[in-house]
């Protein structure tokens, strides 16, 4: 089980550790008022405690943990597939103008994030393109995008250690996005009228109220797992096809995006063409379980000493990026989206994927809606923009920036 000072957890121990992290986080959020008041997600609380403990042991004797990466990736892919399987085209039409507005705001934020990153990197004596690594590559893109683009930066632009730097920045973003979203939503909640709709009433939209009771039978569970399997098989095939036929292209579409897209296609082909009834409650349960376990595993395996050892200029850039995120969420996202309860929830979710990942965005919104009531608009818009459109926008903008001739 151990290799020197590195403890390697197989899939069974990884799952046990993740559930312990979730239980610790849940207990603390329920008992520590400041955590519940600031809407800090349970996986973030438990995961950070575990990461800090590992950091302390690492400082003493070089101790670290390696988890079963395939299990973590599997839960991530299941989560994104669940969003796709919940995306009924009839429901998506309800996005309308708010969906377009939110996408436009996110586009502006990606550009601003990269402008800030490049500008500060230049002022602080780093290679300008390093600013992209401390920009949307890692903060909007996350660990997967960081790994993909990091290799390109090392081979094509001579930025040594770009992959390791990307992992550190993405780790910082994951933690920061989870911590910022709740307080931002709490601040904005003072400016809006909280809905009077009782939690659990009305139509359920995916992931809004994870504690709401859902009845599942063995038959529906098996049918739903088959849908997940079909979506993930399609995602792996499309990802492999892209890698084989477009390997020389900078336009990278991560596997989790294919999982979401495959889920959308599977859902709507089955319901529209074959008139199959999808058991949404079962999809929601599997999606929420996958979300919680993925976040717990991601935070459990954080190597905080990578953040601690970052050069001072990089810490400055990331701190400014965090301030930019808060400014955008409060003064742009909230105002553009209508300055109401839905806009406040959207702002909290925006913090999640603006410096982290879409699962963090959904966890941020869950923490708010579980306490104040559902926000159908937010849970319609954020998963689609955060998990699908944002990756296309990010890849397009990054390709355009890196293709400029004066970087070489």
What is the rounded distance in angstroms from the CA atom of residue 132 to the CA atom of residue 287?
31
Residue at 8 is within a domain? no
Instruction: Residue 363: name the closest of 106, 125, 182 by CA.
Output: 182
Highest mean pLDDT (candidates 143-147, 216-220, 244-248, 257-261): 216-220
pLDDT at residue 184 in the model: 92
pLDDT at residue 202 in the model: 39
Residue at 6 is within a domain? no
Place of tokens 């039409």: 93
What is the rounded distance in angstroms from the CA atom of residue 67 to the CA atom of residue 101?
39
Q: How far is CA 49 from CA 128, 299, 319, in A?
A: 35, 9, 22
Residue 6 scores a pLDDT above 90: no
Q: How many CB atoms lie within 10 A of CB 292?
A: 26
Mean pLDDT of the chain: 83
Place of tokens 């405690």: 49
The mean pLDDT of 171-185, rounded to a whole number, is 86
Up-side HSE of residue 73: CA atoms within 13 Å toward CB? 12
Total domain count, the chain? 1
pTM here is 0.71
| Torsion sign (Cα): 285, 286, 291, 292 | positive
The mean pLDDT of 170-199, rounded to a whole number, is 80
pLDDT tens string 60-113: 888 888 888 889 889 989 988 887 888 777 766 666 788 889 999 999 999 999
Place of tokens 């839905």: 342
The more confidently predicted of residues 126 and 230 is 230
What is the rounded distance in angstroms from the CA atom of residue 15 to the CA atom of residue 42?
16
Strand partners, 66: 8
Percentage of the chain surpassing pLDDT 70? Answer: 88
- pLDDT level of residue 380 (50, 70, 90 thresholds): confident
Helix (H) or strand (E) holding 204: none
What is the rounded distance in angstroms from the CA atom of residue 1 to the CA atom of residue 8?
6
pLDDT at residue 291 in the model: 82
- pLDDT level of residue 199 (50, 70, 90 thresholds): very low
pLDDT at residue 196 in the model: 61
Residue at 408 is within a domain? no
pLDDT at residue 19 in the model: 95
- Helix/strand/coil for 6: strand
- pLDDT level of residue 195 (50, 70, 90 thresholds): low
Q: Which domain holds residue 106?
A: 96-195+202-286+306-403
Residue at 293 is within a domain? no
The mean pLDDT of 320-327, rounded to a whole number, is 95
Residue at 82 is within a domain? no
Q: How far is CA 153 from CA 70, 122, 242, 396, in A?
A: 25, 17, 20, 16
pLDDT at residue 29 in the model: 87
pLDDT at residue 44 in the model: 78
């Amino acid at each position: 089980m151990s290799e020197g000072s590195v403890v390697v957890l197989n899939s069974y121990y990884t799952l046990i550790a993740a559930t312990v992290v979730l239980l610790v986080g849940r207990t603390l959020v329920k008992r520590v008022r400041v955590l519940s008041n600031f809407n800090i997600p349970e996986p973030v609380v438990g995961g950070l405690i575990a990461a800090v403990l590992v950091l302390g042991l690492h400082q003493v004797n070089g101790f670290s943990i390696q988890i079963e990466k395939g299990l973590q990736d599997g839960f991530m892919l299941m989560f994104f597939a669940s969003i796709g399987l919940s995306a009924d085209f009839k429901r998506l039409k309800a996005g309308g103008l708010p969906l377009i507005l939110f996408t436009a705001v996110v586009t502006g934020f990606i550009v601003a994030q990269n402008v800030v990153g490049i500008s500060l990197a230049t002022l602080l004596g780093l290679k300008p393109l390093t600013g992209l690594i401390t920009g949307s590559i890692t903060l909007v893109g996350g660990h997967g995008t960081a790994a993909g683009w990091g290799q390109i930066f090392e081979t094509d632009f001579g930025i040594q250690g770009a992959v390791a730097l990307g992992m550190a920045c993405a780790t910082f973003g994951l933690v920061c996005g989870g911590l910022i979203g709740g307080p931002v939503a709490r601040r904005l909640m003072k400016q809006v009228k909280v809905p009077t709709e009782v939690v659990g009433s009305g139509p359920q939209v995916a992931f809004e109220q994870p504690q709401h009771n859902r009845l599942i039978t063995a038959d529906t569970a098996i049918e739903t797992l088959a849908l997940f399997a079909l979506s993930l098989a399609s995602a792996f095939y499309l990802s492999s096809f892209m890698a084989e036929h477009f390997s020389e292209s900078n336009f990278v579409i991560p596997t989790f995006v294919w999982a979401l897209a495959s889920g959308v296609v599977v859902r709507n082909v089955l319901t529209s063409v074959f008139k199959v009834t999808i058991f949404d409650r079962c999809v929601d349960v599997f999606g929420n379980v996958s979300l919680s376990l993925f976040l717990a595993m991601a935070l459990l395996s954080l190597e905080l000493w990578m953040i601690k050892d970052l050069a001072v200029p990089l810490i400055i850039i990331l701190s400014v990026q965090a301030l930019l995120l808060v400014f955008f969420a409060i003064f742009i996202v909230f105002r553009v989206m209508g300055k109401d309860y839905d806009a406040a929830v959207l702002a909290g979710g925006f913090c999640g994927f603006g410096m982290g990942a879409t699962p963090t965005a959904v966890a941020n919104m869950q923490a708010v809606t579980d306490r104040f009531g559902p926000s159908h608009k937010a849970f319609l818009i954020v998963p689609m923009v955060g998990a699908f459109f944002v990756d296309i926008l990010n890849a397009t903008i990054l390709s355009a920036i890196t293709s400029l001739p004066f970087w070489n």
